Structure formats: structure tokens, C-alpha cells
Amino acid sequence: MKLEVIVDSMMQENTYIYYDENTLEAVVIDPALCFDKQKDFIKKHNLVVKYIMLTHSHADHIGDVLELKKLTDAKIVANINEKEMLNDASKNLSNQFFPYPVEIEADIYVSDREKLKMGEHTFSFFDTPGHTEGGMCIRCGMEMFTGDTLFMGSIGRTDLYGGDYNQMLKSLKKLSKMENDLVIYPGHGPASTIGREKNSNYYMKLVI
């Protein structure tokens, strides 16, 4: 699998286009605030986007979902516990960030440790509440997309609707048990590994 990272200029949010260079099947993770760049990359590489996967439903992670679905007819995948926020522009904050509300119904709702196949690749979903009630991490092989749960050197804030610091610590504890060389791609900032974060991230050190 190959990975393209598109960083939006307003919120510095990472949109990930994750694709099989042989079959050209692709997943887009957390598309927001850079639709034209996503569209250009997808068309340039003739990608067939099968799924739009959401680590959580804050506006800076879902802003382009409806446009991207219209372009690709991909299925939207979200955590079952995020349904409330996806459906409510005031709770997902899109009514504050955008001149239009973003309210979404996912095509597929998943729960902890459920799996979804795309060709020869299997995606596993892990409930990681704390930043939002239905926050999740998305793993494929030795790569995992952590959204706003775990960043290099930090974690997502827990003071917004659906946030819970104690739940966040439990989620970090779950992640700390994964392989040290598992690469993480966060919702903001650079990539890291679980082992690096266990060694240097204050919040991860609290739970190991």
C-alpha cells in the first residue's frame, strides 16, 4: 500500500489517501479542507476510492466527505458511537467552521475490533474514545491511523463535546499494548511509532 498525505492550510489536518498501486483501489481517511487536491490526486493516479473512513467526526476531519462521496460513490465508514456527532452540525462543530452545516450518515458503522477487507488488505478498527465518544483508530498491517487520539508527543484535547480524559487514558493504554514498531499516522502532525511515543510522550508514559 502507498500513502499520500495532504495537509490543509487552515487546521493543519492530515487527509490520507491510502491505495494499492497494483489494483488502484483506495481508501481516503479523514478528508477535509483540501478537496481539490484530493480530487486531482485521485484523478491523476486513476484511483478507485472504495471507502471514506473517519477516525472521528470533528469538522476539520469531515469537511470534504460529502463532496468526495459525490465524486467517488465510496462508502463512508465510521464508529457506531460517533453517529450522534456525525448527524449534528453543532456537535461536530461544522456550523462554527463552515458557512454550511455538515451532517452525515455513514454507510457502514463499525465497532471495536471489527474488520473490513479491500482486495487483499484488511482494515481493523479499534475503539479509542477520549477525544470524542466514538473516536477510533484504523489499522492496516503495520500502519495505523490514530486521528486525534495520539499525536507525536501529545494527544487530542478532551474538553470538547464527547471528550473524556479518563477514557483517553484507557485508549492510550490499549494502544500502548500494540507493537513498538507499529507506525502511527495522526490527524495532525508527523508520523511516529508506538514505541517512540511510549518512550517520549508524557501521556503514553502515564499508562505504561
pLDDT digits (tens, 9 = 90+) for 60-98: 999 999 999 999 999 999 999 999 999 999 999 999 988
Contact 167, 174 (CB under 8 A): no
Give me the pLDDT at residue 55, please.
98
Looking at CATH, the fold of the domain delimited by 2-205 is given as Metallo-beta-lactamase; Chain A (3.60.15)
Calculate mean pLDDT across residues 112-124: 97
Does the model's pTM come out above 0.95?
yes
How is the chain split into domains, by residue range?
2-205
| Grid cell at residue 108 | 457502514
| Grid cell at residue 45 | 493516479
